[in-house]
Structure 1
């Protein structure tokens, strides 16, 4: 019994102190007496049962890693809708307050969903081509052409937004004249100068008007 008590003490105490594996031997002799031995095998002729108690592993304290700022998500580019140059911030000159308001402008939308600024509320209608097919439904041999008349829908720009709308129109005209070919260079230059002249003659002018002699 003394050996059993010693073995139990060895089972309870050293397990908490030692990290290595503990091997216990249960020995039974011919008379049925049982003894527990720590790390010592049973004597020859005795029945032996081996019990292994694994080491008690400790969990290390997690090390807090410094926070790393993740790079921002890359921008997702969609379809490029509008072609135009950079918008220049403009404000009317104080001396232009006595000039008349600029001509009316209209925000128009075509039958294709395209938008533009125009000077008339009723632009000329456009003819959308129609496909012509034969009686058998074959369009390979067309004998003529046809179109459907389409009208643009326009709404007037409010008076308080007229100057910004004319500036925007001037920027678009400037962009078009800079990136043009020889066939339309004069036409686009003339369009730019016409818009610029209307702005300078109105209270949207960003340049002080020249006093009358």
Structure 2
């Protein structure tokens, strides 16, 4: 069995932790990032810097040409980013149509290319309310398809699928990770907004651990 995994690495808090978990578990890691026209594209700069420091293979795939078939999200179009918690119905505007199925399909092809046994991605329990492609049933069915889609079976795994952001951060704290190397905010401005769902959930996780988030937020100081 191959000890190589492809980690879909956005540059955000969850995938940053996942990347280090794979390394900590002894896997040979290939990091794969995607530019799909997200307004918070600066997360890719974070991903590149981390992978360079870790000296691990990292590919950034430009799929912005697919915008027309992935349109209508506040993450990619000129639609206001909603503020508040993920449990709120307004957060559905951040859903990018079929994003994870597309990314996982491409990552599976890459896994076959580099002879990896699995693709890991950072779906977690806090995503379930809003994102259908982060729910256990989606992971199970994608895993089943990717086992038979090629001559080489590839597993689809989401190690944090039953965890929330607070539990993910607990893993990162145990590994002494530096979260200043990540970008979570859906707005691609100089500082994190502190109000979008992604920021709110991140800040709640740090508060739950009695820690201060190392990112700079708008209005701080």
Q: With structure 2 as the length reference, what TM-score do the two structures score?
A: 0.26
Identify, as 1 or 2, the structure richer in strand: 1
Identify, as 1 or 2, the structure richer in helix: 2
Q: With structure 1 as the length reference, what TM-score do the two structures score?
A: 0.26
- Report 1 or 2 for greater relative contact order, CA contacts < 8 Å, sequence distance ≥ 6: 2
